[in-house]
Amino acid sequence: MKKKGIYPNVVIYNSVINGLCQQGCLNEAFNSCWCFVYGRFPG
């Protein structure tokens, strides 16, 4: 996204995490949230 000049904000984060949760991808949603907040995967 950043390569295209689109910088994520709280609305984009919320939409991505919500979509992942609705698809049953809870681990991926958690990892995405962690990346958004800390800039890296957990661990």
DSSP 24-40: T-HHHHHHHHHHHHHSS
Q: What's the pLDDT tens digit per position in 1-43?
A: 667 887 778 888 888 889 989 999 988 888 877 777 776 656 5
Q: What is the pLDDT of residue 9?
A: 81
Q: What is the pLDDT of residue 23?
A: 93
Q: What is the pLDDT of residue 28?
A: 86
pTM score: 0.62
Are 29 and 23 in contact by the 8 Å Cβ rule? The answer is: no
